[in-house]
Structure 1
Amino acid sequence: MSQPSTIRLERTTPRTARITFSNPPVNLVIPESIVTLHKIVSELENDPDIQVVVFASELPDFFINHFDATAAADIPAPEHEDDNPLWTDMVLRLTKAPFVSIAAIRGRTRGAGNELALACDLRYASREKAFFGQPEVGLGLVPGGGGGERLPRALGRDRALEAILTSADYDADTAERWGWVTRTLPDAELDAFVDATVARLASFDRQALATAKSQVNRATLPPDAHLVASFGEFAGTLTQPGFAARAVGLGALVAEKGLDVEYQLGEYIGRVSEAL
């Protein structure tokens, strides 16, 4: 269902950058995506001028989607034995970076894509076109990229449990009401609002922005070790029979229904389990 991903980094001004994701047809995260994102985030983290970074998508129906689990074996191992898994290291760096990160969400974002959005400092979503989900449990997996750690802090325990355990899709209005996103806007106003926010933050003092972000991080971030543990638990479920059986069932639905499975993934996940 995927082609090699295209992740484009554009330095829009001396103080701002834009990372655009494009992996038609449904913006799946694949191993190359992880390697490229890690390289870009590490580069920007060490740039003394960058103050604001925006994540966006070229596909109007998909922001950044879930990970392509069929390619899990191709995720590069950490360079050193004590290094964090590459995805975990990337989202930890993103959350702690001295720049402000903004997710401009138009379309569906689930699993790893949702976890990347949660790692961003601000999340602005199209009221008409954004949808959110953590589909792993419905497929016999568990979240591995920070969803299990960040959603409870954003939504509260019970809502996080509902979102993770049911593996359902949630519309933008619900996401805003629950605190999943910073705010939603009419789709026609999303880009202008994000651009204005970027310009405002880029005009401020970089050190003040970074220090204020660090203060909030101290009060809100989960321990790094919890995210590392979750990635290990996710990797473990990839080899379990529960996932194997559901992967076959989902594959059969994809063969029958095509891309509609990705458009309505929350609904189709329920059908997979009912058929077992």
Structure 2
Amino acid sequence: MTNDVYSTLRVSGENGVTRIVLDNPPVNALGTTMMRELRSVLTNLKEDSSARVVVFSSADPEFFIAHVDMRVGEERDTLQELAVSAPADVNVFQAIGELIRHQPQVTIVKLAGKARGGGAEFVAAADMAFAAVETAGLGQIEALMGIVPGGGGTQYLRDRVGRNRALEVILTADLFDAETAASYGWINRALPADELDEYVDRVARNIAALPDGIIEAAKHSLPADDFTEGLQRENDAWASTLSLPAAQRLMREGLQEGAQTPAGERDLEGLMRSVAR
């Protein structure tokens, strides 16, 4: 297990299970620091043979990852640094999902709260995801910001739920409850909130305790699909919409109205629809 110190992550591990708790108040927005730290810890874990399962959760019970930080475009120098160190065929946001998808460990998301945009993409990139019936929610909010998903969401969604439901998720920009997400195949299972911790812990421990070679053999037999061409199409579509004046206005006014605050994020879809009127 990595012993590095992070400012937006809490990393611990025992008995083959590494636990990464996302902790970036006030709403766990995916900013450049969290992106850099996620890339660091996941890269380090690739070389850690003692880590067999990685469980992601949030320090904030309301928000897993709210979405990509809407102010991230202001950090041009840091974004450029991340771009230089990212693989050549993905953008800085897609790089996170691709790292998760190609980890040698089994990756599991424990979703107690909401995950929108880049947060929903993160969930779909993991090998498995389990969510709380009463409190979890998933949504690709980007259309209400005047853009399309740009962190792998189009490819991961189509792989998980099919083209028709992927279009529904992206173009309605609604927040989907855990039971619907499970019925679509977006996540593995929806569970009562008071059973979520115990269930995920049991799954993680049991997988980590499998005989040597079983995890590697299973992941080799069921490899992550190659989305290289699709990710390039997605990046082109995302970049073309991001450059439009409407997108800049929607995100600017969304922030003014309370996006990226706990109150605003509780009904971000309603907030952004009101801004768009």
Per the normalisation by structure 1, the TM-score is 0.89
Distance 1:98 1:206, change over 3 A: farther
Distance 1:115 1:5, change over 3 A: farther
Q: CA deviation at 1:222?
A: 4.3
Aligned-partner residue type, residue 48 of structure 1:
S
Q: CA deviation at 1:164?
A: 0.3
User: What is the aligned-residue identity percentage?
Assistant: 32
Q: CA deviation at 1:73?
A: 4.2
Distance 2:138 2:87 in 1: 34
Q: Counterpart of 1:214?
A: 220
Please tell me whether residue 223 in structure 1 is matched to residue 224 in structure 2: no
How do 1:91-106 and structure 2 match up within 5 A? Answer: 91-106=97-112
Runs (5+) with no aligned partner, structure 1: none
Aligned-partner residue type, residue 12 of structure 1:
E
The one of 177, 191, 213 aligned to 1:171: 177
Distance 1:205 1:88, change over 3 A: farther
How do 1:228-247 and structure 2 match up within 5 A? Answer: 228-247=232-251
Distance 1:89 1:178 in 2: 25
Distance 1:72 1:232, change over 3 A: farther
Deviation string 1:86-142 (CA, Å, 9 cap, x unpaired) is 332332122122110000001000111111111100100011110010011111111
Distance 2:153 2:242 in 1: 17
Q: Counterpart of 1:71?
A: 72
Q: Counterpart of 2:253?
A: 249
Q: Counterpart of 1:268?
A: 271
Deviation string 1:202-239 (CA, Å, 9 cap, x unpaired) is 11134221221232226xx2423322442354244332
Per the normalisation by structure 2, the TM-score is 0.89
On the 8 A contact 1:92/1:224 being kept in 2, the answer is no
Please tell me whether residue 139 in structure 1 is matched to residue 145 in structure 2: yes
Greater shift, 221-230 or 104-113, is seen at: 221-230
Distance 1:166 1:122, change over 3 A: same
How do 1:180-219 and structure 2 match up within 5 A? Answer: 180-217=186-223
Aligned-partner residue type, residue 69 of structure 1:
M
SS in 2 for 1:10: strand
Please tell me whether residue 88 in structure 1 is matched to residue 94 in structure 2: yes
On the 8 A contact 2:97/2:122 being kept in 1, the answer is yes
Distance 1:206 1:146 in 2: 32
Matched residue pairs, number?
A: 267
SS in 1 for 2:20: strand
Deviation string 1:122-175 (CA, Å, 9 cap, x unpaired) is 100011110010011111111011110011121121111111011111111111
Distance 1:23 1:11 in 2: 20
Aligned-partner residue type, residue 56 of structure 1:
S
SS in 2 for 1:254: coil
Greater shift, 178-187 or 199-208, is seen at: 199-208
Distance 2:125 2:151 in 1: 9
On the 8 A contact 2:108/2:126 being kept in 1, the answer is yes
Distance 2:186 2:235 in 1: 21
Distance 1:206 1:148 in 2: 35
Q: CA deviation at 1:258?
A: 5.7
Q: Counterpart of 1:111?
A: 117
Distance 1:185 1:79 in 2: 38
On the 8 A contact 2:8/2:33 being kept in 1, the answer is no
